[in-house]
Each structure stands twice: as C-alpha cells, then as structure tokens.
Structure 1
Amino acid sequence: MFNPSREQVRQFFCAAWRKHLDRAILEGAEVTAADLIVEHPEYHALLENPERAVEQEFAPENGQMNPFLHLSLHLAVAEQISIDQPPGIRAAYQALRGRLEVHDAEHAILECLGEALWRSQRDGSAIDGVAYLDCVRRAAGA
C-alpha cells in the first residue's frame, strides 16, 4: 500500500497545481487534485509557494484547517465515489446531489469521513465503514 510522507503529499498537490497553471499534461490523480484545488482558491497562494507549503504547520488549536488534509480527504471521497467503495457511497452521493451542489455534497461526505477517521484514531481501531456510510446516508436524508 502506498503510504506517502507529509512532504510527498504536499509536493504532490503543489506539483499538480503548478502543472495546471502551466497548462502541462496532468496524469492520474493530478487531474482530480487540480480540479479540487480550482474549487479552493483560498489555497492557491500557498500551493504556488512549494517551499513554504512543505514547511508550514497548521495547528487546529489556532483555528487553522490543514489545506493538505482537506484536499486529501476530497481526493479520498472522489475515489470512493468513483469505485463505489464502501458500497452504497455513490448512491448516497447522488442523493446529496439531489439537493446540494457538487462541492457542498462532497463537503457533507468529508464531514462524515473526518468523523470516522477521528473515531478510528481515538479508539485505535479500523474505520467503521458501516457507521461512515450511515452518516453519509443521514446527511443525504436517505
């Protein structure tokens, strides 16, 4: 399983954004990453300065959202929807799309994924896929 370092994740997003700006050919997950970054203009300046991006700390206790965590969660959700894993996530996403714009629907799922990850880390256990999908379905009103 691929387990990138913090620096590799940050460099990936910065490189995808640079390629997008340069109108270079994007490959694989870079396409999705660049599309996600377009939807987050608040991250553009950071991603255009890779040296700062790799070194900067984002402390939740200071009210800072880690843009790389946020983009990574978006990337994970996009992959989950594309392969319908966990089974049923695509249908729940479509239900969300019935009442929300794409980005807002993704954010609803991100909230559930973030909660599932937090519980998993807190409990020292695997992610509870059933509880995660139930959360998404509740958000979708399904």
Structure 2
Amino acid sequence: MSLFNPSRDQARQFLMEAWRKRIEQLPATPLEIMAADVVQLHPEYHALLAGGEEALARDWTPDQGDTNPFLHLSLHLAIEEQLQIDQPPGIRAAYEQLLVRRDDPHEALHAILDCLAEAVWRSQRDHAPMDGLAYLEALKQAAGR
C-alpha cells in the first residue's frame, strides 16, 4: 500500500483493520489507533466496518443521498493529522475557536470537515491542487460564526 496515495480499497481496508484491532484489543500502530479513535466517534459505522467484502465493494454517490462513511472517516483522520502539526498553519487555533463556539469536540471537528470536504470537492472539480489558502479562509469563517 502506498502510504501517501492508497487506493480506495486500501484506504477502506486500513480503516476496517484499525477498527478490528480495536474491537479485538490487538496491538496497533499509532495511525491505526488514531483511526480507531475516529471510528469510535461514529457508532453508525461500526457494523459496516465489521462487514467485510460488502463494505469494500459498495459505492456511495451523492445522488443516493448517503454519506460515504469511508470518505467521512478519512477526512476526519486527515483533520486529526492536520491538528497535530497545525498544518495548514492556523487550523489548531480555528479548532479551538470552534470548540468554544460549539462546546462539543466532535461538532467542532465536523465544522472543519465541512470546510475540508468543500476544498477537496473544488480541487477535484477544477482538476487542480487543493487551495490551502481558501481552505484556511473557510476555517476562519467557520470559527468566526
């Protein structure tokens, strides 16, 4: 598996394996622990992640009205990593402001997730690199609301 550009199935398998290790109380890498912590916040996805091949094969599309749980969890994981290293610079401060405003860590993370999802969507739509400055500006706006 490529660490920096995993395939869809590799990313899904990683999340499923991290969750399996948590459930079975097996040793895990720091990244797997972080992923399992993110999954722990989403009980609505626990059964899916234990589902095996069906979960790997399923597609979630916007026209179905369903959120892709693997995308959602992956964005959460990306945000956790961004917060750890304060990259983009200022994300940690925006999170702290959101935490004060929302009074719920998970809700604060979801506000950031909305900004990240928008930035990723724009990047894909425009076939361009993600605009880090626009992402940070969206974070600042969300934190100021």
TM-score range, shorter chain: over 0.9
Partner of residue 131 from structure 1, selected from 118, 134, 139:
134
SS of 1:113's equivalent? helix
| Structure 1 partner of 2:125 | 122
Displacement after TM superposition at 1:121 (Å): 1.3
The equivalent of 1:32 in structure 2 is 34
What is the aligned partner in structure 2 of residue 43 from structure 1? 45
Say how many residue pairs are matched: 142
**Amino acid in structure 2 at the alignment position of 1:50:** G
2 CA distance for matches of 1:114 and 1:136? 12
| Residue 11, structure 1, aligned to residue 8, structure 2 | no
Q: Output the CA distance in 2 between the equivalents of 1:50 and 1:111.
A: 28
CA shift at 1:28, angstroms?
Answer: 2.0
* Aligned match of 1:77: 79
Query: Pairwise CA RMSD of aligned residues?
Result: 1.2
Identity of aligned residues (%): 56
Amino acid in structure 2 at the alignment position of 1:116 = A
- Report the counterpart of residue 66 of structure 1 in structure 2: 68
Equivalent residue number for residue 107 of structure 2:
104
2:22 maps to a residue whose letter is H
Q: Which runs of 4+ in 1 moved over 3 A?
A: none
2:95 corresponds to: 93
Unaligned runs of 5+ in 1: none
Q: 1:73-119 CA deviation, whole Å, 9 max, x = no partner?
A: 00000101110101111111111111221110110001001111111
CA–CA separation in structure 2 for the residues paired with 1:24 and 1:126 = 38
